Chains A and B, each alone.
Chain A
């Protein structure tokens, strides 16, 4: 009898046993920090002194008395607005081209994916800085093509500094492309054959079959990319330092400066929660807007 109970218990909880590392990790390194950062956001925590609760003061300051916050919001929204659509459209388009039955496709796949593996590494941001700086590669190339061209400071000019760092993200479209390509391979040929019989042209097939079939993957990728872009840091830190008149003062950079340079950790926590809420709102908005557009195969 005892033995039987043990067996039952064992069968019930074996799976849970394998989950133990994650459950501990989740509680200690995800849930606990999440709760704490919410609590810190109502304090004047600095790591140096004792701290006290200050109520909503941090949040009030963010929205009424922080010029840099507004600047940073604007920069971050612009950054996402440039990088996200470009990255998605280019990776969709290229994935479509690579899905044809052509020879040597795998080589293109490898080449296009290559920039993505360097991600936000310092090495690649250094290269980027070097391409776009005043004496950099881009100006040299333009200068060689057009005599009399006066070198333009792409990084130092407020109008171009943000597009320059956004472009680094666009350059790394490879990971999205691979996702889309895998999705395209899943679309059954029979759908296209049926469309051929009905006399559909290539554009119709793309918009009526390919995009709807791919829509769950597009949605997933769009949301993940957006979340990541909202938090980007390295490019702004290494290439521009937030500069050209704070035009590239991305949210991640602001959080770093407040939290780890000035050690205003309570205040930075409050700011991180503002970003969190923005991300949640955008995620919901995307899911809401995509309702009816996204096609689930079930």
Chain B
């Protein structure tokens, strides 16, 4: 009986959680007139006009352009974040050196440093460097491990690998870098994968930073394109907006389906010990 109640409750919550998303999927196939005022989930008449219309985008730029832009922004950012965080995590987890404790405390405290205090000087700095309206404000900080969350995550994963492996590699004549590349990285693959996926999804969804840095429409990522489609017409064409919202979510959904194990496990390491 208790089991049954648990299941019933969990299913109910699951339904509430996921209903808006299911509804979004079906609504995107409804004509504009049918979206409003009907609680029917399935469209009476399936149509894909919203997709063809939405895909055409605005003026010179199709929605495909915006998707490609987003990839151009997101993939290097995620890749560099993974690599740099891995190196730094290795340094923290496996070596002793002067000031280690202080640097560790600094790193952990930047985890709590609110982004809002940094945004304005960063904007001014990047503007002076001529990086505004490019993807550098995202990619360059990623090269320098600027998201402490991932360093922390990597440290946790490194700690989970027995040191015996390092020692064995050392005896076999590997230096520390070779040990990292040939011995530790193969074991760390899931961790790196999860860091990549997280940063992929976060950068994909980021809105505030692209809003302040990217100004020309031809460089817009999907988030800005969506925002623009919501803005431009006084009467919003909801069916196209919904269809394109869904299209913009698909890469994240795919990434989630492919890597949900890594994502959930990666998230889970954050809370355990510190």
Contact = CB atoms under 8 A, between A and B. Distances in A.
Among A19, A24, A275, which residue has the most Cβ atoms of chain B within 10 A? A19
Given A126-B242, A233-B207, A265 B124 contact: yes
A265 B39 contact: no
A269 B115 CA distance: 12
A53 interface: no
Contacts, number: 260
Given A33-B118, A234-B208, A183 B88 contact: no
A182 B204 CA distance: 26
Contacts of A275: 114, 116-117
Interface stretch (A55-63, A81-89, A94-102): A94-102
B117 A24 contact: no
Contacts of B84: 21-22, 25
A276 interface: yes
A221 B39 contact: no
A227 B38 CA distance: 40
A94 B118 contact: no
Taking each of A22, A108, A251, A273, which has the highest tally of chain B beta carbons within 10 Å of its own beta carbon? A22
Interface string B83-103: 010011011101111101001
Nearest to B7: A102
A19 B271 contact: no
Contact of B14 (A34, A112, A144): A112
B13 interface: yes
B7 to A, nearest CB: 7
Given A21-B145, A221-B271, A238 B115 contact: no
Contact of A16 (B24, B97, B111, B120): B97
Interface string B1-40: 0010011011001100110110110000000000011110
Contacts of B202: 119
Contacts of A178: 264, 267-268
Contact of B120 (A115, A227, A272): A272
B150 to A, nearest CB: 10
Contacts of B206: 120
Contacts of B7: 102
A227 to B, nearest CB: 6
Given A40-B121, A112-B14, A28 B97 contact: no
Tell me whether chain A's interface is mostly helix, strand or loop, or mixed: helix
Nearest to A226: B112
A164 interface: no
Interface residues of A, number: 92
B97 A114 contact: no
B263 A117 contact: yes
Contacts of B53: none
A72 to B, nearest CB: 13
B160 interface: no
A149 interface: no
Interface string A237-265: 11000000000000110011001100001
Given A33-B125, A178-B264, A272-B119, A108 B94 contact: no
A194 interface: no
A94 B11 CA distance: 12
A31 to B, nearest CB: 9
B249 interface: yes
A18 B88 contact: yes
Contact of B88 (A19, A32, A127, A223): A19
Interface string B246-274: 10110011001000100110011111101
Contacts of A80: none
Interface stretch (B43-51, B188-196, B223-231): B223-231
Interface in A210-248: 216-217, 220-221, 223-224, 227, 230-231, 233-234, 237-238
A100 B252 CA distance: 29
Given A113-B264, A137-B20, A265-B120, 16 more contacts: A15-B91, A18-B88, A22-B84, A25-B84, A97-B10, A110-B260, A121-B207, A121-B248, A121-B249, A182-B271, A217-B272, A227-B112, A237-B207, A260-B211, A272-B114, A279-B114
20 contacts: A14-B176, A34-B117, A34-B121, A36-B124, A94-B10, A98-B10, A100-B3, A100-B6, A121-B207, A121-B248, A121-B252, A122-B226, A123-B249, A137-B23, A179-B268, A182-B267, A183-B271, A217-B271, A220-B274, A234-B207
Top 6 A-B residue pairs of the complex, sorted by shortest distance between their CB atoms: A15-B95, A25-B144, A18-B91, A182-B268, A121-B205, A36-B121
